[in-house]
Amino acid sequence: RIPPESFQTFKCEAPSLDVKVKKEDLLSMYKSMVAMRRMEMAADGLYKAKLIRGFCHLCTGQEAVGVGMEAALSEHDKVITAYRSHGFTYMRGGTISSILGELLGRKTGISGGKGGSMHMFTSNFFGGNGIVGAQVPIGAGIAFTQKYLGNKAATFIFYGDGAANQGQVFEAFNMAKLWNLPAVFVCENNKYGMGTSASRSSANTAYYTRGDYIPGIKVNGMDVLAVNQAVSYAKDWTVSAEKGPLVLEMETYRYSGHSMSDPGITYRSREEIQDVRAANDPVSGLKECLLENKVVSEDEIKSMDKSARARVDKAMEEAKASPQPDIEEFWTHVYKKGYEVPFLRGREPEEFHRYR
Amino acid sequence: RIPPESFQTFKCEAPSLDVKVKKEDLLSMYKSMVAMRRMEMAADGLYKAKLIRGFCHLCTGQEAVGVGMEAALSEHDKVITAYRSHGFTYMRGGTISSILGELLGRKTGISGGKGGSMHMFTSNFFGGNGIVGAQVPIGAGIAFTQKYLGNKAATFIFYGDGAANQGQVFEAFNMAKLWNLPAVFVCENNKYGMGTSASRSSANTAYYTRGDYIPGIKVNGMDVLAVNQAVSYAKDWTVSAEKGPLVLEMETYRYSGHSMSDPGITYRSREEIQDVRAANDPVSGLKECLLENKVVSEDEIKSMDKSARARVDKAMEEAKASPQPDIEEFWTHVYKKGYEVPFLRGREPEEFHRYR
Amino acid sequence: VEMTVRDALNAALDEEMAADEKVYLLGEEVGQYNGAYKVSKGLLDKFGPKRVIDTPITESGICGLAVGSAFAGLKPVCEFMTWNFAMQAIDQIVNSAAKTHYMSGGNVDCPITFRGPNGAAAGVAAQHSQCFAAWYGSVPGLKVVSPWNSEDAKGLLKAAIRDPNPVVVLENELMYGVSFPMSEASLSKDFVVEIGKAKIEKEGTDVTIVAHSRSVGFALEAAYLLEKEGICSAEVINLRSIRPLDTETIIKSVKKTNRLVTVEGGWPQYGVGSEICAQIMESEAFDHLDAPVVRVTGADVPTPYAQNLEAFAFPDTEVIARVVKRTLNKQIGASN
Amino acid sequence: VEMTVRDALNAALDEEMAADEKVYLLGEEVGQYNGAYKVSKGLLDKFGPKRVIDTPITESGICGLAVGSAFAGLKPVCEFMTWNFAMQAIDQIVNSAAKTHYMSGGNVDCPITFRGPNGAAAGVAAQHSQCFAAWYGSVPGLKVVSPWNSEDAKGLLKAAIRDPNPVVVLENELMYGVSFPMSEASLSKDFVVEIGKAKIEKEGTDVTIVAHSRSVGFALEAAYLLEKEGICSAEVINLRSIRPLDTETIIKSVKKTNRLVTVEGGWPQYGVGSEICAQIMESEAFDHLDAPVVRVTGADVPTPYAQNLEAFAFPDTEVIARVVKRTLNKQIGASN
Ligand SMILES: Cc1ncc(C[n+]2csc(CCOP(=O)(O)OP(=O)(O)O)c2C)c(N)n1
Ligand SMILES: Cc1ncc(C[n+]2csc(CCOP(=O)(O)OP(=O)(O)O)c2C)c(N)n1
Ligand SMILES: [Mg+2]
Ligand SMILES: [Mg+2]
């Protein structure tokens, strides 16, 4: 049973507080969370070693969102998010080595090294999008497709507290409601959009109420079980009950800076971060829950932690061992293979590629 | 005293139902309404005579909005709207002949013939904008300026029921609330955006509630006195009381087609239009009110009607008598005079204009 | 048979929707209203509201939704009432539709068609008159076509819908009502016009005129006029595609005629003509030029409303004829 | 003294805000965060939250609000975190800011500056690497500048803020941290660089290289390299303005050197180089060309992330040197 504060609702009932999860699912969630955190720590290290370039947005602190979500979804359900995408990519089937490989810009990267940190995709995960807010109507279109094709699948559309003000979000809300789309809009409220706190960017920080005519639920996004419960509820709502769109607000926290170039402590205090880590950390939270409820022993925890670390280390070595993409890949995928333009030009007239 | 149904409110008190207007103001409102309607009828005729080109959006049926508004404003207040702008231009100081002149593309047109139907401006009226929704953040910027400069002036920002779904509107709401701008967002709900009825375009057709954190009032936009009352209230709210933004929804009706090329009867019935005209016409409404309350006699009404007609006829003759713009005007106002680029090119290299 | 450009576009939509369940049309007023310019007339009745979808006036949202549906497996035809309004959605077209296939290393496809009228209509002033050919033409990942007549319209729109890449179709409102003969072949539902191939509309020997969209008509008129006056025999090339640009066809023609005039309705700077000039300059055709390439374009001003001013904003037969004559008198190296 | 481009921009903002109460800065993270790239560092402390305004992440709303404030009498400096994000606001820049003065017959002014980093940074992939010079450069009503070094940055930004027209300032993130010497004059608060004038950064006699933004540095390096190798004396022109384009300066140079290479980081088609080619073709410089103009540009692909691929996406010193050498060996009319 999770605490009643786990949910706050807007124009709908709360999900049940009675959580029924199998032991193996709990363990699997724990393993995922630890692996995800380890993976992000690895990315942090690789960035600092100057092996990762450009932007790199970590999801440490927010692991419960992706993990709790995935545990409630099937492979038929769809997910889309912005640039803070490593964790989701992992949950949606991307291997750790393909994710780290992408960060390193290697051939075995999940996008062949062409996308980098912000642009990762799997067959039911649509990225990995760099333009704040743009993924929201795109997500509505993915939901539209499920309805069009008669698929019994929900689409979960993630966006940040900063992104929540983008006009496109409201345009997507409107169409999703008008057309009763199986779309769940999930505001991942990690309290800041870059250096701007939610209350400085948003006239209404109760993001779960901002769908107006779309009901909403605020969820304790630091508790993987609450997330899981809310996502199950949302899936039922929009797929089984065909009640149309729903808004979820996941209250969570970003430990790291916005991206690697942001120390993350000019607009908030170190204590603030420490306090969340100490009182609210999603990984420790689940660990304690497992221990308290005697689902596992300390030793089992340690061994899971160790094996997560080993997995990530191994994946990192694999990724590092991968060569850079072949130079020919520069020219592929501008257009779909077989349907290219006759040729493309490089930097000067004698640099070019002929497709046919 | 106007009927209680005149207003519906969202997160605020209703304006008073006790209307105190001087006789001369009532007469002036009536004169404006009749003149406005006549002007639009003149435009209709000129368009059908092929003297007006392109788009031409009439405001017949919606006269109470512009007239009731202006009666509550001072010259310091600002107004902006979309392309359905003739009536507002007139109320904000544009002469009828300069408006018709613009429609005819003449030198004496209010924009020198360069803007046409959709693009008319006065010193406190910012147009006349052709891109649905774009005028809304622009209007917020005008309000921002009043606050920045310490002017005690309200900015009224008009947009349609169709435009109300544009993302920019919500972006403007958010900034207006965050920064407590003296901005009044006025949704002119004339029931259709082109051929799309409000309920087919908008998941929530209670437009006065769509500001979420911004209070709103729905107003009987067919009653010039209700409009006047609501606009006064809004001005007080945002200027004197400094309570920040407010949303007004003016419930009104468009008699004509969307623009001259739309017969206006494929998506609604002729009866629907007739019913509104018969039961709710803003001009007849005010006329009856004046007669019932014995403010004026039938004869006085007739004479006002006649003089409005005469004024419009005279203005039309003036406008028609105006020559087309001088050809040199083709090159002016691309940049501000004195700050142009050295030259601009016409259609081929030997057609060009040198500024210096 | 003759067919208007409007009917040709309608037929293209009709045929492709009938052929493939995944093709659907969305946009403002495309359904009940039959299209702001009646291009989609009858399609709602025929295919129903699942496949012909009236949207709110939210370009960026509609466009994003359409792109998402393409990512997820449908083949949307996203109509913009005019391309001017698509500026609100251009981020979705460029950043989402055009770039995702590449960024994903080929993992995500985007088979989408964006279409609507482009460039100037009559008397609609500055905000409703812009040509976007060069902007979209600059973007790798997009294909861009610009039909002139009914065959172009039908064949290019069908090709666009079938193409698994995002394709921008730049129509022209002033052409919708114009009728053109349709060949037997073009009436077939199998008819497509290959994207990326220009068409020689009229053969000639003395000068090449390259144009796209409505300007092709003016170019042809000018060519026939000059021929009638005994001044020259002009070859007229209808570009059809803006990206890829069929430089090969232009080069071949220039090698024959040794003179080139480009014509477009858009603004001059960084335009379609500029690119053609540059490509000719960089190609072997350059050495065959007897006179410099000259661009005929829209004037470098926002479009004015008044008719007498507007008349100076866009090229017409007379301007083209004048420029061609001047070009015939020019000789490289001669000082004039 | 030396100054980074970042500090030069900061000084320009500081001085113009101090000089004119109507000038204010708004954008995402410009205040408390001191700017995503620290260009506005210290300005919030100095001018307070009334004049340095942190906004929500709503480009189209921010931009529209800024334009409205310009219509109403203020002089906004609207920062885009990068120009990529301004695609969401491009309708406001083009349809509202650029066209309203004309449409209103001169009744409404729009004294606004739009600024932010443009083009590629390092390793930021396709959605964050686009160059918008040609797009904005095509729009009448706008002026467009593209500074390279610190003097450019300071002088052009100040000129932009003082100009009563909408001006687009295309900065470059990779240049922010680069230091350049500042002349005595450029340190003055009266210093401005005239919009529309290119600058000859290095005189030369054998070939002209025209570039803008970061490419100017590569062009100079290539020129010095070629000089050192005894291959040629190249003249390097820093465009500074994209609109108006200072064709006069280019023409004069080409008349002297008889050869021209253009360099830019943007995509090749319908780009800055294309326009320069076309204008040279139409000008008297054409007859002075001893070799065709060649464009060096960004490659015609969305920008890849991986370092080895990215290296092929943008021009550098080596590519420029190679093309210049080739151009020197070309002769018009010679078959090669
Ligand atoms: C349209 C657009 N504007 C600005 C940016 C730059 N930017 C990237 S992330 C970000 C902050 C977003 O904050 P939020 O939505 O809260 O997501 P979070 O980073 O907290 O996950 C900004 C401003 C962008 N990528 N796209
Ligand atoms: C961005 C944009 N999209 C589409 C259009 C075409 N258009 C012009 S008016 C209009 C309908 C607007 O309806 P509404 O907002 O209700 O205003 P009304 O015409 O009823 O006054 C449309 C779709 C446009 N001008 N701008
Ligand atoms: Mg956030
Ligand atoms: Mg309406």
Phi-psi region at D285: left, alpha or beta (left = phi > 0; alpha = psi -120 to 50): alpha
- Closest by Cα among D269, C249, C313 to A345: D269
For ligand 2, pick from B85, B138, B159, B194 the residue to mutate: most ligand atoms within 8 Å of CB.
Answer: B194
Measured CA to CA, the distance from residue B321 to residue B334 in angstroms comes to 27
Nearest one of A334, A348, A315 to A98, comparing CA atoms: A315
- Cα–Cα dist D206/C44, whole Å: 65
Taking CB atoms and an 8 Å cutoff, what residues of chain B touch D78?
Answer: none
Superfamily of domain C2-187: Thiamin diphosphate (ThDP)-binding fold, Pyr/PP domains (3.40.50.970)
| Closest residue in chain D to residue C96, using alpha carbons only | D127
CB of C15 within 6 A of ligand 2: the answer is no
Chain C contact present for B331, CB below 8 A: yes
Residues 79-138 of C with CB under 8 A from A: 91-92, 95-96, 100-109
pLDDT (tens digit, 9 = 90+) per residue, D96-131?
Answer: 999 999 999 999 999 999 999 999 999 999 999 999
Helix (H) or strand (E) holding B96: helix B96-103
Alpha carbon of A170 to ligand 1 centroid (Å): 17
pLDDT at B267 over 90: yes
Residues D2, D6, D11: CA angle, nearest 5 degrees: 80
CB of A265 within 8 Å of a chain D CB? The answer is no
Looking at residue A187, the DSSP 8-state letter turns out to be E
Distance (Å) from CA A83 to ligand 1 centroid: 8
Question: Does residue B61's CB lie within 6 angstroms of at least one atom of ligand 2?
Answer: no
Confirm or reject contact between D259 and chain C (CB < 8 A). Answer: no
Q: Is D212 a catalytic residue?
A: no
Give the orientation angle of helix A96-103 with respect to helix A23-48, to 10 degrees: 20
Q: How far is A68 from chain C (nearest CA, A)?
A: 24
Given the CA of residue B189, which atom of ligand 2 is nearest to it? Answer: 16
b/e map A98-110, b = 16+ CB within 10 Å: bbbbbbbbbbbbb
Say whether C128 is catalytic.
yes
Q: Does A337 touch chain C (CB under 8 A)?
A: yes
Q: If phi over 0 gives left and psi between -120 and 50 gives alpha, with beta otherwise, what is residue D194?
A: beta
Task: Report the complex ipTM.
Answer: 0.98
For residue D331, the model assigns a pLDDT of: 80
Across A249-274, average pLDDT: 97
* C199-329 CATH, one of 1.10.940.10, 3.40.50.920, 2.60.120.620, 3.30.559.10: 3.40.50.920
Q: Are D63 and D87 in contact (CB under 8 A)?
A: no
Tokens of B61: 């049926």
- pLDDT tens-digit profile of D212-257? 999 999 999 999 999 999 999 999 999 999 999 999 999 999 999 9
For helices C317-329 and C215-228, the axis angle rounded to 10 degrees is 60
Q: Which two tokens stand for residue A310?
A: 């080993």
> pLDDT averaged over chain A?
98
Distance between terminal CA atoms of chain D? 49
Distance CA C73, CA B329 (A): 52
- In this complex, which chains have at least 3 CB pairs below 8 Å with chain A? B, C, D
User: Quick check: CB of C85 below 6 Å from ligand 2?
Assistant: yes
Distance from residue A204's CA to the centre of ligand 1 (Å): 18
pTM: 0.98
Q: Which tokens hold the place of B297?
A: 């006699």
Q: Quote the tokens at residue A138.
A: 């795109």
Interface test with A, best of C107, C136, C143, C249 (most A CBs within 10 A): C107
| Closest alpha carbon within chain A to C90 | A134
Q: Which residue has the tokens 């006025």?
A: B186
| pLDDT tens by residue, B13-47 | 999 999 999 999 999 999 999 999 999 999 999 99
Q: Do D140 and C267 touch (CB under 8 A)?
A: yes
What is the pLDDT at residue C333?
Answer: 66
Q: From the CA of B198, give the closest atom in ligand 2.
A: 16
Fold observed for domain B4-325: Rossmann fold (3.40.50)
Instruction: Tally Cβ neighbours within 10 Å of residue D288.
Output: 16
pLDDT digits (tens, 9 = 90+) for D24-70: 999 999 999 999 999 999 999 999 999 999 999 999 999 999 999 99
Distance A190 CA to ligand 3 centre (A): 5
Alpha-carbon distances of D78 from A25, A239, D41, D50, rounded to whole Å: 50, 43, 15, 14
A168: distance to nearest CA of chain B, Å? 5
Specify the DSSP class assigned to residue D81: S
Distance CA C175, CA C117 (A): 9
Residue of D59, D81, D90, D128 best suited for mutating to test ligand 1, as the one with most atoms within 8 Å of CB: D81
Q: Which residue in chain D is spatially nearest to B330 when comparing CA positions?
A: D102
- Nearest-10 Cα torsion for D110, B133, B260, C10: 120
Which amino acid type is present at position C225?
Answer: L
User: Mean pLDDT, chain D, as a whole number?
Assistant: 97
The phi, psi pair for C316, rounded to 5°, reads -140, -175
Query: Is D60 near ligand 1, meaning CB less than 6 Å away?
Result: no
Residue D334 has pLDDT above 90, yes or no: no
Ramachandran angles phi, psi of C134, nearest 5°:
-70, -40
Residue nearest atom 5 of ligand 2, based on CA coordinates = B132
Q: Quick one: CA dihedral B233, B234, B238, B243, positive or negative? A: positive
Q: What is the pLDDT of residues A15-73, one digit of tens each?
A: 999 999 999 999 999 999 999 999 999 999 999 999 999 999 999 999 999 999 999 99
What is the rounded distance in angstroms from the CA atom of residue A28 to the CA atom of residue A23? 8
Q: What 8-state DSSP symbol labels residue D248?
A: H
Closest to D193 in 3D by CA, of D152, D134, D234, D161: D152
- Give the residue numbers in B contacting A (CB under 8 Å), as ranges: 165-171, 173-174, 177-178, 200-204, 209-210, 212-214
d(CA C254, CA C200): 12
Name the residue ranges covered by the structural domains of chain D: 2-187, 199-329
Using CB atoms, list chains with 3+ pairs below 8 Å to chain D: A, B, C
Q: How far is the CA of A197 from the centre of ligand 3 (A)?
A: 8
Give, in order, the Cα–Cα distances in Å from A173 to each of A168, A209, A280.
9, 12, 31
Which residue reads 């020259």 in tokens? C232
The separation between CA A230 and the C-alpha centre of its own chain, rounded to angstroms, equals: 16
Which among D73, D103, D143 has CB closest to B119? D103
Cβ of residue A330 closer than 8 Å to a chain C Cβ: no
Does A264 touch chain D if contact means CB atoms closer than 8 Å? Answer: no
Residue D138 and residue C243: Cβ atoms within 8 Å? no
Q: Has residue B58 got a pLDDT over 50?
A: yes
d(Cα C144, Cα C102) in Å, to the nearest integer?
A: 18
- Which ligand is located closest to the Cα atom of residue C60? 2
Cβ–Cβ contact B344 with C under 8 A: yes
Tokens of A340: 């290219």
Q: Which of C90, C98, C277 sits opposite D281 (nearest CB)?
A: C277
Q: In the predicted model, is pLDDT for residue A97 greater than 90? A: yes
| CA–CA–CA angle D249, D250, D252 (5° rounding) | 65
Chains contacting B (3+ CB pairs below 8 angstroms)? A, C, D
Considering only alpha carbons, which residue of chain B is nearest residue C301?
B334
Nearest Cβ partner for D95 among B115, B134, B171: B134
B113 φψ region: left (φ > 0), alpha (ψ -120 to 50), beta (else):
left
Nearest to D275 among C127, C266, C269 (CB): C269
pLDDT range class, residue D170, cuts 50, 70, 90: very high
Q: Where in chain A is the domain with CATH 3.40.50.970?
A: 4-325
- Fold identical between C2-187 and C199-329? yes
Exposure string over A239-252, b if 16+ CB within 10 A, otherwise e: beeeebbbbbbbbb
Alpha carbons C114 and A182: distance in angstroms, whole number: 25
- Across the range A217-226, mean pLDDT stands at 98
For the Cβ of D88 lying below 6 angstroms from any atom of ligand 1, the answer is yes
Least Cα distance to D219 among D239, D243, D236 occurs for D236
* Cα of B334 to nearest chain D Cα, Å: 5
Task: State whether B178 and A168 contact (CB < 8 Å).
Answer: no
pLDDT along chain C (336 residues), means of 10: 98 98 98 98 98 98 99 98 98 98 98 98 98 98 98 98 98 98 98 98 98 98 98 98 98 98 98 98 95 97 98 98 96 62
Q: What is the dihedral of CA B42, B44, B45, B49, to 10 degrees?
A: 140
- Amino acid at residue number C179: S
| Cα gap D168→D78, rounded to integer Å | 10
Beta bridge mates, D199: D238
Residue A267 to residue D304, Cβ atoms within 8 A:
no
Q: Is the CB of residue C54 less than 8 Å away from at least one CB of chain B?
A: yes
In our burial notation (b when 16+ CB lie closer than 10 A, e otherwise), range D302-318 reads bbbbbbbbbebbbbbbe
- The answer to whether the CB of C28 is under 6 A from ligand 2 is yes
> Which ligand 2 atom sits nearest the alpha carbon of residue B83?
9
Catalytic entry in D15, D28, D59, D151: D59
C positions 233-262 inside 8 Å of A (CB): 243-244
For D155: left if phi > 0, alpha if psi spans -120 to 50, otherwise beta; the answer is alpha
Residue C131, C-beta contacts closer than 8 angstroms, at least 6 positions apart: C118, C119, C120, C170, C264, C265, C266, C267, C298
Residue A77 burial (CB < 10 Å; 0-12/13-18/19+)? buried
Is the beta carbon of A162 within 6 A of some atom in ligand 1? yes
Cβ contact (<8 Å) for C87 and D94?
A: yes
How far is Cα D267 from Cα D273, in angstroms, rounded to an integer? 10
What does the pLDDT look like over B271-290, one tens digit per residue? 999 999 999 999 999 999 99
3-class secondary-structure state, position B212:
coil
Q: Is A47 helix (H, G, I), strand (E, B) or coil?
A: helix
* pLDDT at position D332 over 90: no
φ, ψ of residue B124 to 5 degrees: the values are -125, 20
The pLDDT, as a whole number, for residue C336 is 40
